[in-house]
A and B are shown apart, each in its own frame.
Chain A
Amino acid sequence: MDSGELLAALGRSVAFGTPILLAALGEILAERSGVVNLGVEGMMAVGALAAFVTTQTTGNPVLGVLVGIVAGGIAGMLHAFVSITLRANQFVSGLALSMLGLGIAGLLGKRYEGQPLVASLPEGVFSGLAIALALFLWLVLYLTRAGLTLRSVGENPAAADVLGVNVIRVRYLAVALGGMFAGLAGAFLAVSYRSSWTEGMTNQLGWIAVALTIFVAWDPIRAVFGAFFFGLLYYLAFALQNSGIPSMFLQALPYALVILVLALVALRRRQGAAPEALGVPYQRGLR
């Protein structure tokens, strides 16, 4: 493999990893506030369809991306309402959101199936944006008051509440923003990476992002490396298609790896890094 091929391989890995990174950043945001959102896959699908349809009807892919982001945010708000306000089981709510998002996108996207996109955006823009967002999120988390508030809400919401932090609002904001990141990830798939709409085009990337969040210990910078590592795997599955290894094995590889990675993380850390209040609905008790 010469250096040109190597560079190309790297480029493809980054492109494959970009939607994972974007979605994982959103999940990190939500989970840092204490809310697990398993609806990433659904939010991505909704974002992807919204971006595609908007681009197709207006011819403006930038507007498409923005609409995709908003759609992801709205989907996130649904999870926020059910899991934060109604305090339903976060895992089940997220699961339902995944089903619903995939269902709605599949249904409403039927007539766009197979259409060529009128105008697309270059992949590099999204990859650069994703890396910049990761850096930015890290800075916000650790060096600003907003980040301190967010982390505190995820660790000990009662303590934050007593100090006048509006726990519910912070969580809504984090989950909605998380949804917007997922929407952006979906939009990237629709208007740049694939430049088309097909049902199921999110291809479980949202779930990989959820696993990645645990794997990188809720750290945005580590998420960059983790996402591009998974990107490399997808690239390899694609590049080794004609190498004699049955392609089914290569395609199953990322999923097997998720399980392996989760097991390794559990072996090493015993969930030490998870935000303390993760998955627990907040309710103002008697102090």
Chain B
Amino acid sequence: MAEPLLQLRGITKRFPGVVANDRVDLEVYPGEVLALLGENGAGKSTLISILYGLYRPDEGEIRLEGQPIQIASPRHALELGIGLVPQHPLLVGRHTVAENLALGVGAPLFPAQRIIPQITRISRAYGLQVDPKAQVHTLSPGEKQRVEIVRSLLGGARVLILDEPTSVLTPQEAEALFGVMRELRAAGRSLIFISHKLEEVLGIADRVVVLRRGKVVGGVAAQEATKAQLAELMVGRSVSFERKRQAPSLGGVVLEVEGLAARSARGLEALRGVSFQLRAGEVLGVAGVAGNGQSELIEVLSGLRKASRGAVRLEGQPISANPAQLFKAGVSHIPEDRLGMGTVPSMNVAENLALREYDRPPLARGLLLNPKALEAQARAQVREYAVATPSIYTPTRLLSGGNIQKVILARELSGHPKLILAVHPTYGLDIGATEQVHRVLLEKTYQGAAVLLVSEDLEEILSLSDQVAVLYHGELKGPFPVESVTRESLGLLMTGGTA
């Protein structure tokens, strides 16, 4: 291959207590797709942030076409020809695509109108379909991503960094993205593709570089690599892809949902005629791209939202629309937003553990709180769930994400729930915490709890569930027994196809 377009030498970045990047060497050649592989916390994000001018490296050198460069800001990065397509699009929802793309670069007068021809030209050249006049908040995740790609290309990016671009896409949308990536590669542009999905990486990349704990631990040509080899490089030990689930012993029907319909906060119809049953000891995995009714389903089942039609019965009784009463009736809720909803970050661990039962004995004596009981409960639960906290009186905002999730698990699962609503329960957690969450959830099912698991991680769904269903446009496809589905068939359902 020719001269590298972009070259990183000995890049080191330290944060208090961690070395995020440790003497990283990396080359990117023109016209190639370089996959950057690594677990959460392996240093990928830091490396991208350095390339995109968000962080300055402590040591090391970056060369562009052989010339050493200092990247001062994202704007500067783009001027140098380095573009980023962020994982979560940074767009103004209420503006049009053209207005978004004109921001910072448009003409002084009529900036949005005058940038439209350029957008059209680029979207034609690479098969990137975008409507310049559409309001961004009406776009699908895939479309928003295309807007970000167009933005980088408008800026003249020669190196395009795609940060976990497929995490918000259906398999079919991802395939379309790979098509665009191939076009760009053919046009001589370089792509850095960040992912932790091995299959994709092997499918699209020319070369794979693996990061672990801030260091480059391996670089291989994609053609010669195998999944098992890459996985081992990534986590540092052989990992198994087995199902974690033991054969469950199912009991009676715990939850019965019939013809459920509900509206979203914006008043749009978000659930249409959803029906399913869940039995004691059973795990139902609900897959689907975010925004297809998952939030509304969980909100109805946890008492946060009223159904507009249909029936929900818990052990044969209609449920009330009151989260406190539902919890009392045995419905636990592990919410998606741990800091925003699942905890009160400024209050301490003991107080957070009391959130559900603060007004009932033993935590309350009449109208008074019982501090002794709060303390005793906190000590017992912190021990049982191995929450790493300096003290039970530490504000939860000072804990790590994994430990905050453990606080929530302890609170929600200690009281032998009948139904557990687990929403993205391992999102953003490290492997250790993820395994603990999975173990605890499964243990509860062996004790007779039913679990409704909402996740975007198909791996997680397939490895934990007995039944699998897909939410698409507010309709529930399934449930199907887990043995009868595959990643591919779920992917099709997630995009509105039939399995």
Contact = CB atoms under 8 A, between A and B. Distances in A.
Given A152-B92, A155-B92, A160-B103, A144 B75 contact: no
A158 interface: yes
Interface in A126-181: 143-146, 148-149, 151-152, 155-156, 158-160, 162-165
B83 to A, nearest CB: 11
Given A155-B92, A155-B93, A155-B95, A165 B104 contact: yes
A145 B99 CA distance: 9
Contacts of B49: 286-287
Q: Size range of the interface on B? A: 20 to 34
A148 B92 CA distance: 11
A248 B54 CA distance: 59
Given A148-B102, A164-B74, A276 B94 contact: yes
A143 B102 CA distance: 12
Q: Size range of the interface on A? A: 20 to 34
A144 B104 contact: no
B109 A163 contact: no
A286 B163 CA distance: 14
B94 A163 contact: no
A95 to B, nearest CB: 23
Contact of A145 (B75, B86, B91, B109): B109
A244 to B, nearest CB: 46
Interface in B83-129: 86, 90-95, 99-100, 102-112
Interface in A247-287: 276, 286-287
B73 interface: yes
Given A145-B102, A145-B107, A145-B108, A163 B74 contact: yes
B92 A164 contact: no
A162 B90 contact: yes
Contact of B109 (A143, A158, A276): A143
Nearest to A139: B109
A148 B106 contact: yes
Contacts of B112: 148
Given A149-B104, A155-B95, A156-B90, A143 B110 contact: yes
Interface of B: 45, 49, 54, 73-76, 86, 90-95, 99-100, 102-112
Q: What 10 A-B pairs have minimum CB-CB distances, sorted nearest first?
A: A164-B75, A163-B104, A159-B90, A145-B111, A155-B92, A162-B74, A156-B92, A145-B108, A145-B106, A152-B103
19 contacts: A143-B109, A144-B111, A145-B107, A148-B102, A148-B111, A149-B103, A152-B99, A152-B103, A155-B94, A159-B90, A159-B100, A162-B90, A164-B73, A165-B103, A276-B92, A276-B94, A286-B45, A287-B49, A287-B86
